[in-house]
Amino acid sequence: MAMLEVDEASIRQLIEAFDQTQANCDAAGKAVEDTRNYLEKVWQGDASARYSMAVAEWQSGLEKVKAGLAIMNEQMAEYHKETGSTEDSASSHASWT
């Protein structure tokens, strides 16, 4: 079985990627919301109402995705903090003589 090696730079890149993904989700949600708000002003009828309902469902799903990403991001940041503390502790107790 292959051993997974993770270094600090890789963990930081992963955390940055999660941050960027969350920002992208926020931007997508805002774009959809802005479009829906515009269309509600100029579009009437059954199709408009159904579209608004579909957007609301989509936004609910997006919120679930964002919540999952936030949990994963928090856990990765905690892992990074813990492994850094472990390495710092091991280094401070190491004897080079």
Within-domain flag for 59 = yes
**pTM of the entire predicted model:** 0.70
Within-domain flag for 27 = no
Within-domain flag for 62 = yes
Q: For residue 63, what are the domain limits? A: 33-79
Within-domain flag for 57 = yes
Contact yes or no for 42/30 (Cβ under 8 A): no
Within-domain flag for 8 = no
pLDDT digits (tens, 9 = 90+) for 3-46: 666 677 888 888 899 899 999 999 999 999 999 999 999 999 99
Residue in 27, 22, 29 with CA at minimum distance from that of residue 68:
22
Within-domain flag for 25 = no
Mean pLDDT score, 54-80: 93
Domain count, the chain: 1
Mean pLDDT score, 70-97: 72
